Amino acid sequence: MAKVSQMQGVPAHIETLKAMGKRRHPAYCKFHEGTGKTRICKCNRCSKYLLSCNSASKCDCYEQMEDN
């Protein structure tokens, strides 16, 4: 694979995926309660505990809900 310095002038897009290749979203977290702007975190280990949860991308306590 070419180095970035060798790709000058070549359009490129670099992506990174989360664990297991899935995107994180607060609505899919098993610790969320509510929807939209009223969504709060119910994980007592999280720094956002009982506070508004707007982003799951950098949350250390995020866990995907199990598919039923």
- Using one digit for the tens of pLDDT, what is the confidence trace for 5-23? 676 766 666 665 555 556 7
Q: Could you state, in order of their start, the residue ranges of all structural domains in the chain?
A: 22-68
Question: Is the model's pLDDT at 45 over the cut of 60?
Answer: yes
- Using one digit for the tens of pLDDT, what is the confidence trace for 49-58? 888 887 888 7
Q: CA 44 → CA 31, 35, 40, 57, distances in Å? A: 9, 19, 12, 18
pLDDT of residue 10: 61
pTM: 0.54
**Residue 29 pairs with which residues in a beta bridge?**
64
